[in-house]
Amino acid sequence: MGIDSIGKFIRKKRKEKGYTQEEFAKMMGISRYTLYKIEKGQLGEVSFIKIWNALRLLGYDICIERHNPFANPDWNEFEE
């Protein structure tokens, strides 16, 4: 799974919660442009903390499992 899959997941869940990019980026403590790049999978290196923070704010967490790295079945539609 790549950053583009994670970005698509974050974008979908952000929209479901009704946050604009501007609002959600402010919650994360990053610029709207950085969030845009995360959602498009265009950042070469995004810190794990930023990804974890975005998922946490959306009500998700990362768990360590061999076949399902995210704790929610919604993730499956975004796997590569």
pLDDT tens digits, one per residue of 15-24: 999 999 999 9
Closest CA to 53 of 25, 19, 15: 25
CA distance 74 to 47: 23
Give pLDDT tens digits for 4-39. Answer: 788 899 999 999 999 999 999 999 999 999 899 889
44-71: pLDDT as tens digits: 666 777 888 888 888 887 765 555 555 5
Of 23, 67, 33, 30, give the one whose Cα is nearest residue 51.
Answer: 30
